[in-house]
Amino acid sequence: MRRAIRATGRGATCCARCCGGSRRAPRASRLESERDELYEAQASKLLAGITVGLDLGRAPLIGAALQVYWVHLVTTLGAQAFGRIDAPTVCPCCGSRPVASVVRMGAQEAGLRYLHCSLCGTEWHFARIQCASCEATKGIEYHFIKDGTKAWQAETCAECGTYLKIFHQEHEPLVEPTADDLASVALDLLVADTGKLRSGQNLMLIHGDEE
C-alpha cells in the first residue's frame, strides 16, 4: 500500500507539471517524504470514516492509493480469497460501503441495479426501490435536479434518514460511479435540504473537522 500511495503522489506531481506547473505539487511532495506510520494512521482513519486528526488535504491522494491497492488485491487474488460477506448493503469482497448504485442497460442486465464499492470497485446486485442502508422498501423517494440530466438521481429513505445516488446507464452509457458522484455534488446539496445524510462514501470527497 505504501508503494501505491507514493505512486499516487508522483502521479499528482506529473499532472501538475503537465498543467504547466514548474514546481512539484506540495501535497504530493509531502506524501513522498512522510514516514510509513503516517500512511497507515491516515489510511486507517479514512477507511473508518474518522475525520478528527485526518489531513483533509492529503485524504483524496491516500484514498486514491487505497483504491489502487484494493482493486489490485481483488483482481489478482479473486473475491474468494477474502471470504464472502453476506451483508447485502456492503461490498461482498472488502466490506466497504458503496459510493453509489448503477442501473444497467443491455440485453441481460437491462434494468438491474448494482451497488458500486467505494474502495475496491466491486459491483453486486441489489434490488431497486429499496434502501441501500437499512433495506427498507417503504418511504423510498427519488430526487433529481430540475432541468438537469436524467442519469443522476438520489434515492432517499424515510425510515433511516439516509440517501444514496443512483445513476442510469440508459441516459448516460459511460457512467462511472465515483466520478459521477463527484460531478453531481449539486444533487447532494439539494438532498441536504431534506435533512437526509449520505449512506455511502466517496474517498475523493472527504469533509469534516481535522481537529
On whether residue 134 sits in a domain, the answer given is yes
Higher model confidence: residue 42 or residue 175?
A: 175
On whether residue 207 sits in a domain, the answer given is no
Residues in the chain, overall count: 211
On whether residue 60 sits in a domain, the answer given is yes
- Confidence class of residue 22 from pLDDT cuts 50, 70 and 90? very low
End-to-end Cα spacing for the chain: 26
The per-residue pLDDT for range 121-169, each reduced to its tens digit, is 999 999 999 999 999 999 999 999 988 888 999 999 999 999 999 999 9
Name the residue range of residue 124's domain. Answer: 98-198
Joined together, the cell numbers standing for residue 194 give 431534506
Adjacent-strand bridge partners of 155: 142, 164
How far apart (Å, rounded) are the C-alpha atoms in residues 189 and 207? 14
What's the confidence (pLDDT) of residue 79?
A: 67
On whether residue 19 sits in a domain, the answer given is yes
How far apart (Å, rounded) are the C-alpha atoms in residues 168 and 14? 34
For residues 134 and 51, membership in a common domain is answered with no
Number of domains present in the structure of the chain: 2
On whether residue 38 sits in a domain, the answer given is yes
For residues 37 and 102, membership in a common domain is answered with no
